Amino acid sequence: MTWLRTPPEARPDAQAAESPGQDATAARDGQDPAAEGQRNAAAAAATSRAAGRSLGAMGWLRWGWRQLTSMRTALILLFLLAAGSVPGSLLPQVGTNPSSVSQYYSSHPLLARILGDLGLFNVFGAPWFAAIYILLFTSLVGCVLPRTLRLVGSARQPPPRAPGNLARLPFAVSYATPLAPEAALDSAAKTLSAKRFRLRTGPGWVSAEKGYLREVGNLLFHMALLGLLVSIGLGGLFGYKADRLLVNGTSFANTVTALDEFHPGRLVGPADLQPFTVALDHFSASYVTSGVLAGQPSSFVAAIRYSASPGDPMHSYSLTVNHPLVVDGVRVFLIGHGYAPEFRVTDGTGHVVFDGAVPFVPVETAGLVSEGAIKVPDADPQGLGFVGVFLPSAIDVGGRLESYFPAPQNPMVSLVSYAGNLGMNSGPSQSVYSLDTAGLHELPVSPRPLAIGQSIKLPDALGTLTYTGYQQWVSLAITYDPGQTAALWSGIAVLAGLLLSFMVRRRRVFVRASTDGAGNTIVDLGGLTRSDAAGGFEEEFAGLAAEISGLQQGRTEASPLVDPDLEVPDRTGPEPDTQGSGPPAPEQPDSPDTEQSDSPDPEQSAGE
Amino acid sequence: MFRLPHFASRVAGAAGPSPRRAAAALVAAAVVLGAAACGAGATAQDTAVGNGSSFVTGSYGTTVFQSGARPKAPDVVGPTLSGSKFRLSTDRGSVVVMNFWGSWCTPCREEAPALGALSRYFSAAGVRFIGVDIRDDPASAEAFMATFRIGYPSLNDPNDLVALDFSGTVPPAGIPTTLVIDRSGRIAARIVGQASYSGLKALITQVEAEHG
C-alpha cells in the first residue's frame, strides 16, 4: 500500500471527531458550541424580528413547539416525573392505602388538607402528574417524528459532488493510465456500480456512495421508537392489572367485585373487563424432602378450569409458574400460594355464625408459617375475633411453636380470641388479614394449639370455635396489556435499527480523471467515511483502488493474469505531497460537502 | 456570544451530534418514560381502587340513567341463601332494588340499616328488594341479615355469576353496589359505594313514580 498517501492515524477528520467524554444529552441540548452557536443565531434572528414586529400567534406557537420538543425540555420533564413520584412513596396514597390516608387526615388536619389539595395523596392520578407525562410524551414524539422524516430524505439523497482536490481526502491515490479520461471514469463507474455503490457523475468526475443501510437502520430505529412510545401509551390507557386470591374448590369471574386489587388503565371501566371465569379444582405444591435443599419447592401446579365468557364450555388447564393462562387476550399468572384453615364458629345463642375457609398469609418461607384473622362481627351476644398462625408441620421447640416443613404434615393453628366490637360497622375498610383490636378485649383462653377437629370453648358462654380443616389457595395476577406485543416487536426493531446504524458505515469514493501537460491521463481516487471508526474502510478502499486501476491497466497491457494487488501503479505523474503542504486545514474533512445547502450530510442535518 | 453565524454553522457541521447519540438519549428517556407510564397506568385511578383490604371498594358515586338511555338488566337467576329460586324477570312490573354486598365489607354493614328500613318503607308500594351476597359464607351472611334485620332475600353468589351477568352493561363497580331497576326491567340508577338512606329513597321514589 505504498500509494496510500495519508495514513489513517493522520486523518484530519479524526480531529473533528466528537470527544468521547461529551455525552449525548449535552450534545443534543446545545451545550456543544455548535448548537449553541446555532441557537444564538436563531435567537438573534428572533430578536431582530421581534424588534421589527411582534412574533404573531403562529410564531409563538412554533417557538413553543420547538421549546417543548427540545431535549432540554424532555430531560427537565423526565426529572420532574421522577421528582413528582417521590411524594407518592413518602406519603400514604389513596389508591394503595386509603386507611392510612384517613389516619393522616385525623392526625394532621391542616397539613393533610393542604397536601390533599395538592393531590399528594393520589400523586399518580393528580392532574399535575398527568400534565408532566403527557408533555413528556408529546415532547418525545415531537422530537422523534421530524427526525424520522429527515432520515427518509437523507436515505434517498444522491452522493455529493466530487471535491476539487481528491488528494486532501483521508484516503487518496492517483495513477496514470493510457485510457482517455472519459473511458477511465466510465470503467471506474462500472467497477463501483458492480460493488453496489450509488453513483453520481459530472464533467470529469464520478462520486459514489455506499452504506445507505445505515440510514435505513436509523430510520427503523426512530420509527420503532415511535412504535414503542405508542404501544406503551396504549397499554397505559386500555390495559389493567388485577389480583385475586382463589381457594381450592372455588371459582371467580373477572369482574371488579370479585377482584382483590384492580388497577385499571385510564380508559378502562368495569364494563371493559373480559368476562372469563376461572375455577380452581386442585392446587399441589411439591417440596424437596431430603438433602440440603429439603423444604425447597420443586413444583407448583394449579389444576384449573376456565371459560372465556358466560355460557361457553369450560376448558381444563394446568397453571404453573411462568406458564400463564391466556384467555381472551388476558393473561393469568400463578404468583403465590398459601393455606386457608377452615373454621366453624357457633355463638352464645347456638347459631352457626361463621363456617368457611380463611386465607392466611405466609410470613416465612421455610415452614410456611401463616398469619390471619377470623372475624365474626355478627355473633350474639358479642362480636368475636381471632388472630393467630397456621403451621403446616407444627412442632414444639422448647415451648415455641414452629413449622419444620412447608407441606401439611401436621397442620395446626394457634389462636388468640377476642370479644367486643370489631369496628366493622363504620369507619375505613379493614384488612381482611388483621384484626382491629381497639374495641375488643382479649379472652382468657389457653393458647393451646389446635389440631383438625379440635375446638376452643370461649368463656362466659360467648361461643365455640372449631378448626375443621384446611384448604390451599393460590394468588393469581391478571394482566391485560393490549400494547404488549407491539411494544415487544418495537423493542426488537429499536435494537435492530440501532445495531444496523452502528455497524454499517456510509463511505464515499470519488474519481476524477484529467489530462496532464504531457497528454497522460491522470486518475485521482479519493475515499471518505463519515463514521468515527473507519475500521475496514482502509482495506476496502485499497481493494477498490487496486481493482479500478488494475482493471484499466490490465486492459491496456492485455495481461489477463495480472493480480491487482501486486500491480503497483506507475507513478509517472507528479505526486501531490500533502504531508509537506503544512497542517491540514480545518475544513478538510468536509471538503466533499461544500454543497451542503443542496445536499446536506445526513449525520449533520439529522443530528440536531 | 458574538460568534459569527458562519463559524457557528461550520462547527455545527463538523461536530454536530450524531443521530446515534441523540437516539441513545432518547432510548434512555423512552425507557424511563415507559416505566413511569406503566407506573402511572397501574396506580392512577379515581374510578375503583384496590385498598390493601382485599376487595375493591367503589368511589363512582351515583349514576342516574334517563328513561331513554337505560341499559337492560340481565335476567338474573339463582338460588337464594334460604334455598329458594330467584328469577329477576318474574318481578317485571315492579321496581327492583338490587344490592351487592358481603357480610365482611364495612361500607355494606354501614349502609345495611338504611337498606333494611327502605325495604320496609317501600314494601307497601310493591318495590322489591333483592341482595346479592358476594365472596361470603352462608353462615356469616345469615348472621348479618339477623343483625341488621334484613327481611328481603339475597342470592348466594360465591362464583360471581350475577356480577358476570351484568358485564357489558352496568356491572357493579365495587362492593357495595346498589342498582335501581325500573318496571320494564331496565337499570335506572346505580350507586357504587355506600348508599345513604335519603339518596336511595329519593331515587326509588322517582323511579317508582314512573308509569310502567
Pairing, β B61-64 against β B187-192: antiparallel
For helices A127-155 and A213-238, the axis angle rounded to 10 degrees is 160
How does DSSP classify residue A251?
A: E
User: Which has the closest alpha carbon to A523: A501, A503, A500, A549?
Assistant: A549
What is the average pLDDT across A192-209? 90
Residues whose CB falls within 8 Å of the CB of residue A427, separated by 6 or more in sequence, listed in order: B106
List, in sequence order, every residue forming a beta bridge with A307; answer none if it has no partner: A277
User: Which has the closest alpha carbon to A595: A32, A35, A11, A158?
Assistant: A158
Q: How far from chain centre, in Å, is Cα A108?
A: 39
List, in sequence order, every residue forming a beta bridge with A470; answer none if it has no partner: A341
Interface predicted TM-score of the whole assembly (ipTM), two decimals: 0.74
Tell me which residues of chain B, numbers 103 to 142, contact chain A at a CB-CB cutoff of 8 Å. Answer: 103-107, 109-110, 134-135, 137-140, 142
Residues whose CB falls within 8 Å of the CB of residue A374, separated by 6 or more in sequence, listed in order: A343, A345, A354, A358, A384, A385, A386, A387, A415, A465
- State yes or no: cis peptide before A381, omega within 30 of 0: yes
Summarised one tens digit per residue, pLDDT across range A502-547 is 888 888 999 999 888 788 888 999 998 866 555 678 888 888 888 8
Query: Is the pLDDT assigned to residue B54 strictly greater than 70?
Result: no
Summarised one tens digit per residue, pLDDT across range A414-470 is 999 999 999 998 888 888 888 988 899 999 998 789 999 999 999 999 999 999 999
Q: For chain B, what is the mean pLDDT?
A: 77
Summarised one tens digit per residue, pLDDT across range A115-148 is 888 888 888 778 888 888 888 888 888 887 887 7
Query: Is the pLDDT assigned to residue A69 strictly greater than 50?
Result: yes
Give A260's contacts in chain B (Cβ within 8 Å).
Answer: 50, 54-56
Quote the pLDDT of residue A97.
Answer: 64
Summarised one tens digit per residue, pLDDT across range A478-492 is 999 998 889 999 999
Quote the pLDDT of residue A489.
Answer: 94
d(CA B28, CA A20): 18
Q: CB-based contact (8 Å) between B35 and chain A?
A: no
Output the CA–CA distances (angstroms, integers) from residue A141 to A52, A138, A608, B28, in the order listed.
Answer: 33, 5, 15, 14
Phi first, then psi, for residue A429 (nearest 5°) are -65, 145
Tell me which residues of chain B, numbers 72 to 91, contact chain A at a CB-CB cutoff of 8 Å. Answer: none
- Pick from A194-208, A257-271, B141-155 the range whose average pLDDT is largest: B141-155
Quote the pLDDT of residue A305.
Answer: 97
Summarised one tens digit per residue, pLDDT across range B161-203 is 999 998 878 888 888 999 999 999 999 999 988 899 999 999 9
pLDDT, greater one: B54 or A56:
A56
Quote the pLDDT of residue A66.
Answer: 87
Q: How large a percentage of chain B has pLDDT more than 90?
A: 57
Is A37–B11 a contact, with Cβ atoms under 8 angstroms apart? yes
Summarised one tens digit per residue, pLDDT across range A254-313 is 998 899 888 888 788 888 899 999 999 999 999 998 888 888 889 999 999 999 988 899
pLDDT, greater one: A328 or A7:
A328
| Amino acid identity, position B181 | I
Q: 3-state class of A103 per DSSP?
A: helix
Range A333-367 burial, b when 16+ CB lie within 10 A, else e: bbebbbbbbbbbbbbbeebbbbbbbbbbbbeeeeb
Quote the pLDDT of residue A98.
Answer: 62
Q: CB-based contact (8 Å) between B6 and chain A?
A: no
Give B163's contacts in chain A (Cβ within 8 Å).
Answer: 253, 255-258
pLDDT band at B3; cut points 50, 70, 90: very low
pLDDT, greater one: A261 or B115:
B115
pLDDT, greater one: B145 or A550:
B145
What is the average pLDDT across A54-78? 86
